[in-house]
């Protein structure tokens, strides 16, 4: 049993590391892409990108996990015939779904592009991304089978390989299209086609691992007898995968709402099509910044959720509540300063990354969604660990609906700044719903609000003072971008140092709670001695 648990934890660690690497790459590549293609190029890519995000999450989240659960149950009892049936049924169903999706996207691209605001700019990119749908069934099914046999390395290597190839494709195609004069349409088309090149590499990696997989050998050697009803396999597959898929689609669905509403609502308010496209491209600068901030803010907090799930399975109620408490506290401790810090340095960071200050006020507003995004993600993970699987999915549906409603009301009055306000409010609504339910499920969630807010006030004050001093010092520099880089990084470094001092000084997390997060305990333990 101990060996199995170690194997499970090692596998979870491998997959978590791969996911973090992919998220990091996914957060940073759009910065050089915008630098290469400009605001219009950012518009083309960001309009289609949510479609890819949905496809990617279907391939890496819900269906592989559902397949792995069904396979693992059969592998445990050495029922290889049923495992083989689950493999074949899953592959067939997902391929049919992928083929239907391909036909809809490829032939419906002109209509979808028109609904998104520009038939001329978006038709070809949408058609390009559709080809990935023909490959995703293979990656989703194979990853699920490997994970069901506790073979996590194939999934991890394929995910990282897929993301690396995709990012390289995006940047190379963007550079080539712009340098040869092909323009932003072909730059965006090549960029989104990276979903297909990445998927090709992922499939290749997964098939290469089949030769070394004892589980696959056992399934191949088993006669093709199907002891289960296909309908029962389908019901189990979708019952497990759909809630997980929905829970993973929060950020892409928000992006999809923006793709269909922002530029269209601006045109309805008598903006020219060119101006609305440029404005949406500026708004999309916020995406990588928010992903980057949330990447660090959710990492440690989410690492505690598997431990909480284990404690629940072992019947240790006290540990469950304690770990849920620490997860939420860590999320506040990391998400709130991420929001405040990004809001303070929005303008210099905008210039540092995207060449000019256009849309800095929008980025300042968007920064405050970071805390709510992290709270939604962490609370959803805890609720799933407590067995409340459907609730986070319902919460996301409500949040996405209100995002569209808020866009409808706020964009006409305040252009892309209104869209930013809508994003913050919708994420906040999702966080409030989850936390309300969580508070009723967990005995208590103790947050030292006074110490937390004081620490963040000190961070904001220090970062603001340093920002103003550095802006004054660098005001005469020839390169505004270099000046803003020094200003942004200097403000971040000082703000982080002050915040860490405040966390240690006010003891925002106790020693016994640090034991639940070993890496943080080891680092902070040294600081406290």
Q: Are the CB atoms for 29 and 167 separated by under 8 Å?
A: yes
> What does the pLDDT average to over 294-320?
64
Domain boundaries of the chain, sorted by first residue: 1-248, 249-447
The pLDDT score that the predictor gives to residue 82 is 81
pLDDT in tens, 333-347: 888 999 999 999 999
Residue with tokens 């949330």: 294
SS3 content of the chain, % helix, strand, coil (to 5): 85, 0, 15
Q: Are the CB atoms for 459 and 498 separated by under 8 Å?
A: yes
296/299 Cα distance (integer angstroms): 5
Q: What is the dihedral of CA 90, 92, 97, 101, to 10 degrees?
A: 130
**Cα first-last separation, the chain:** 37
Residue with tokens 């979870």: 12
- CA distance to 72, 140, 444, 520, per residue, from 58 (Å): 20, 8, 34, 32
351/224 Cα distance (integer angstroms): 61
- Longest alpha-carbon distance in the chain: 77
The pLDDT score that the predictor gives to residue 30 is 84
The pLDDT score that the predictor gives to residue 127 is 93
In degrees rounded to 5, what are phi and psi of residue 326? -65, -40
378/327 Cα distance (integer angstroms): 7
308/310 Cα distance (integer angstroms): 5
The pLDDT score that the predictor gives to residue 506 is 85
State the DSSP string of 418-473. HHHHHHHHHHHHHHHHHHHHHHHHSS-----HHHHHHHHHHHHHHHHHHHHHHHHH
Reported confidence tier of residue 177, pLDDT bands at 50, 70, 90: very high
pLDDT at 237 over 70: yes
Give the pTM: 0.83
Residues 6+ apart with CB under 8 A from 94: 63, 136, 137, 140, 141
The pLDDT score that the predictor gives to residue 514 is 55
Residue with tokens 């289609």: 48
pLDDT in tens, 455-510: 999 999 999 999 999 999 998 898 999 999 999 999 999 999 999 899 888 887 76
pLDDT at 8 over 50: no
Helix (H, G, I), strand (E, B) or coil at 266: helix
Q: Are the CB atoms for 507 and 455 separated by under 8 Å?
A: no
The pLDDT score that the predictor gives to residue 323 is 76
Q: Enumerate the H helices of 284-389 as residue ranges.
A: 286-303, 305-313, 317-344, 346-354, 360-367, 369-385
pLDDT in tens, 11-51: 556 656 666 676 777 767 888 998 999 888 888 988 888 87
Q: What is the dihedral of CA 469, 472, 477, 479, to 10 degrees?
A: 70
> What does the pLDDT average to over 99-117?
90
92/437 Cα distance (integer angstroms): 38
CA proximity to 158, closest of 193, 202, 127? 202
CA proximity to 142, closest of 57, 56, 239, 210? 210
Reported confidence tier of residue 128, pLDDT bands at 50, 70, 90: very high
Mean pLDDT over the full length of the chain: 83
Reported confidence tier of residue 406, pLDDT bands at 50, 70, 90: very high
% pLDDT > 90, the chain: 37
Helix H or strand E segment including 212:
none
Reported confidence tier of residue 6, pLDDT bands at 50, 70, 90: very low
């Amino acid at each position: 049993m101990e060996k199995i648990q170690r194997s499970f934890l090692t596998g979870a660690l491998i997959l978590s590391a791969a996911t973090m690497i992919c998220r990091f790459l996914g957060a940073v590549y759009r910065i050089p892409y915008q630098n290469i293609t400009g605001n219009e190029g950012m518009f083309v890519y960001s309009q289609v990108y949510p479609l890819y995000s949905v496809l990617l999450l279907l391939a890496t989240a819900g269906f592989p996990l559902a397949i792995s659960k069904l396979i693992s149950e059969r592998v445990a009892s050495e029922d290889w015939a049923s495992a083989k049936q689950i493999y074949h049924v899953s592959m067939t169903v997902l391929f049919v779904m992928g083929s239907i999706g391909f036909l809809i996207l490829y032939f419906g691209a002109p209509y979808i592009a028109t609904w998104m605001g520009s038939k001329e700019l978006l038709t070809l990119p949408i058609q390009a991304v559709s080809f990935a749908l023909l490959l995703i069934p293979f990656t989703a099914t194979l990853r699920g089978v490997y994970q069901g046999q506790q073979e996590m390395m194939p999934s991890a290597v394929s995910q990282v390989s897929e993301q690396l190839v995709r990012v390289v494709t995006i940047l190379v195609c963007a550079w080539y299209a712009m340098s040869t004069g092909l323009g932003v349409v072909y730059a965006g088309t090549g960029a989104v086609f990276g979903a297909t090149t990445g998927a090709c590499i992922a499939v290749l990696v997964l098939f290469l691992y089949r030769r070394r997989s004892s589980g696959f050998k056992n399934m191949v050697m088993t006669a093709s007898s199907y002891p289960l009803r296909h309908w029962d396999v389908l019901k189990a597959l979708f019952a497990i995968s759909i809630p997980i898929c929905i829970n993973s689609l929060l950020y892409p669905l928000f992006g999809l709402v923006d793709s269909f509403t922002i530029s269209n609502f601006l045109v309805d308010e008598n903006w020219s099509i060119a101006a609305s496209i440029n404005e949406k491209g500026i708004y999309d600068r916020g995406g990588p910044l928010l992903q980057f901030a949330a990447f660090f803010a959710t990492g440690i907090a989410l690492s505690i959720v598997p431990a909480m799930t284990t404690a629940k399975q072992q019947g240790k109620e006290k540990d469950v509540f304690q770990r849920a408490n620490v997860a939420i506290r860590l999320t506040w401790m990391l998400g709130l300063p991420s929001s405040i810090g990004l809001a303070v340095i929005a303008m210099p960071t905008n210039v540092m990354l995207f060449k000019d200050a256009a849309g800095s006020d929008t980025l300042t507003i968007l920064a405050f969604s970071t805390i709510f995004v992290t709270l939604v993600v962490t609370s959803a993970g805890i609720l799933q660990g407590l067995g409340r699987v459907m609730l986070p999915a319902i919460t996301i549906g409500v949040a996405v609906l209100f995002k569209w409603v808020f866009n409808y009301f706020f964009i006409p009055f305040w252009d892309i700044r209104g869209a930013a306000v809508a994003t913050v409010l919708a994420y906040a609504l999702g966080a409030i719903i989850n936390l309300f339910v969580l508070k009723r499920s967990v005995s208590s969630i103790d947050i030292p609000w006074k110490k937390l807010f004081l620490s963040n006030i000190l961070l904001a004050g220090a970062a603001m003072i340093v920002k103003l001093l550095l802006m004054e010092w660098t005001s005469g520099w020839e390169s505004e971008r270099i000046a803003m880089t020094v200003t942004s990084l200097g403000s971040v470094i000082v703000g982080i140092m002050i915040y860490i001092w405040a966390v240690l000084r006010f003891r925002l997390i106790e020693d016994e709670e640090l034991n639940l997060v070993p890496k943080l305990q080891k680092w902070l333990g040294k600081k406290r001695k």
